[in-house]
């Protein structure tokens, strides 16, 4: 059987004996055909907003509108969404001041070329675009969130008299689902807010995992943060495995987001009969597999169904490197994954370090399983992080077989970000 894993802007393939494949988990969204072009789906969603007046009505009389836009790490079809939002805002208010605030969270700032690719040259050159900096920007204080985290938000967003957002919805490895409220938290919050929301205790919760919103304190903090700041209206889309927009949801930031979540739940959830000895997965290809940091998302999905001591094989091109110095040095320090995990669990909420959450989830997976990484990065870098380098899928399977001492069944999850697997209850 030939298996294919999205990898950068292409795919990795390998022939695996049929008898070794336990399952290939591809969600129903993977081959979901777009019912219309992306711009048409967005226009239809704007014409029938969920739980809200139309955006053009909300913008009447407003002087300062801020649109929160995703950054370069998200495959959001901004070329279809942002022009439509701009037209709606200006329909009855042509002189309104509009700022597009790039909701980077704690990511690096987007480059000029990345913004041009994202929005198109016309929007980039004609609109006022500001990139959020979680460490340097002036913040507005909105008090303390239910978790105890401080809520400090970019003053540009806080001073808007209409705050709206674009985005996309997919399963998220600790917030349950992306989209909606995440444009505010972590999108335009201070580092201290993001770090506290992503603290070790919050990440360690049994409810902080892909597909789970109920009881998820990370999600609850995010919703409360968006409410306090006044996020009013969103346009969020859902994309298939080819990064094509297949659905769009517009309106109230909570109700429209939940409508998108309901749509995804029908397509992304799947049950597995038993734990696997080997799980092969990827991060959905570019742009989600740009670095090892982002690859943790797919690894966390594999962790759900890989038996303790089984092997995870992650294919992530990682052309942008490890993805963060703090993240890299956490694993290059010479400690075992178990030691790293215990160190992180002992960190108080207000002392959370940069990228600690990603390190915690990766360390948890590595403490349970050897993790083999296929990437473009030098083998020495991969090894320093405690991961096992491989050049291709066939070699990775051979390494896994050598570790296990036997040829165990393999479960393949081509897009580890887009699936919500669960073991069947016995």
- Rounded to 10 deg, the angle between the 78-91 and 112-119 helix axes is 70
Alpha carbons 218 and 215: distance in angstroms, whole number: 9
Q: Which of 157, 158, 175 is nearest to 68 (CA)?
A: 157
Alpha carbons 151 and 162: distance in angstroms, whole number: 19
Alpha carbons 99 and 86: distance in angstroms, whole number: 10
Q: Which of 290, 336, 355, 338 is nearest to 316 (CA)?
A: 290
CA–CA distances in Å: residue 241 to residues 175, 270, 287, 331, 360? 21, 16, 12, 31, 28
The residue whose two tokens read 């590595």 is 366
Residue 209's contacts (CB-CB under 8 Å, 6 or more residues apart) are: 173, 174, 176, 300, 304
Q: Which of 332, 294, 328 is nearest to 417 (CA)?
A: 294
Residues serving a catalytic function are 107, 172
Q: Cβ-count burial of 208 within 10 angstroms (0-12 exposed, 13-18 middle, 19+ buried)?
A: buried
Q: Which of 276, 274, 180, 283 is nearest to 234 (CA)?
A: 180
Contact indicator for 400, 311 with CB cutoff of 8 Å: yes
CB atoms within 10 A of CB 121: 10
Query: Residue 37: helix, strand or coil by DSSP?
Result: coil
Rounded to a whole number of angstroms, the distance between the first and last alpha carbons of the chain is 30
Q: Cβ-count burial of 361 within 10 angstroms (0-12 exposed, 13-18 middle, 19+ buried)?
A: buried
* Dihedral sign, Cα of residue 405, residue 409, residue 415, residue 417: negative
Alpha carbons 81 and 85: distance in angstroms, whole number: 6
């Amino acid at each position: 059987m030939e298996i294919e894993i999205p990898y950068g802007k292409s795919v990795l393939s390998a022939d695996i004996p049929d008898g070794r494949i336990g399952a290939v988990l591809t969600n129903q969204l993977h081959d979901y055909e777009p019912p219309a072009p992306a711009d048409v789906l967005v226009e239809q969603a704007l014409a029938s907003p969920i739980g809200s007046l139309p955006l053009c009505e909300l913008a009447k009389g407003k002087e300062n509108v801020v649109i929160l836009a995703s950054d370069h790490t998200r495959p959001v079809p901004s070329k279809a969404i942002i022009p439509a939002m701009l037209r709606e805002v200006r329909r009855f208010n042509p002189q309104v001041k509009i700022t597009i605030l790039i909701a980077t969270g704690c990511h690096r700032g987007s480059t000029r070329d990345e913004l041009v690719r994202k929005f198109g040259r016309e929007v980039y050159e004609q609109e006022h675009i500001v990139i959020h900096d979680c460490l340097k920007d002036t913040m507005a204080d909105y008090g303390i969130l239910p978790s105890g985290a401080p809520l400090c938000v970019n003053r540009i967003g806080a001073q808007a008299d209409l705050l709206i957002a674009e985005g996309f919805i997919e399963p998220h490895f600790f917030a349950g689902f992306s989209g909606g409220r995440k444009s505010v938290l972590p999108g335009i919050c201070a580092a201290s807010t993001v770090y506290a929301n992503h603290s070790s205790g919050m990440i360690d919760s049994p409810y902080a995992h892909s597909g789970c919103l109920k009881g998820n304190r990370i999600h609850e903090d995010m919703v409360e943060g968006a409410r306090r700041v006044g996020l009013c209206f969103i346009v969020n889309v859902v994309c298939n495995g080819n990064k094509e927009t297949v659905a769009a949801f517009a309106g109230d930031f909570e109700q429209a987001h939940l409508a998108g979540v309901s749509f995804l739940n029908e397509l992304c959830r799947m049950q597995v009969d038993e734990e696997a000895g080997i799980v092969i997965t990827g991060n959905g290809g570019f742009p989600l597999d740009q670095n090892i940091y982002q690859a943790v998302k797919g690894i966390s999905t594999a962790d759900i169904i890989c038996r303790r001591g089984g092997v995870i094989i992650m294919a992530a091109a990682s052309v942008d490197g490890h993805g963060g110095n703090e993240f890299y040095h956490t694993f290059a320090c010479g400690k075992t994954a178990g030691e790293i995990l215990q160190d992180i669990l002992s960190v108080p909420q207000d002392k959370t370090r940069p990228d600690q959450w990603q390190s915690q989830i990766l360390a948890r997976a590595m403490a349970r399983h050897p993790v083999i990484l296929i990437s473009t990065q030098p083998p020495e870098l991969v090894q320093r992080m405690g991961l096992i380098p491989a050049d291709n899928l066939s070699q990775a399977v051979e390494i896994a077989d050598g570790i296990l001492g036997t040829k165990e069944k393999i479960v393949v999850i081509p897009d580890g970000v887009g699936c919500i697997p669960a073991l069947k209850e016995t």
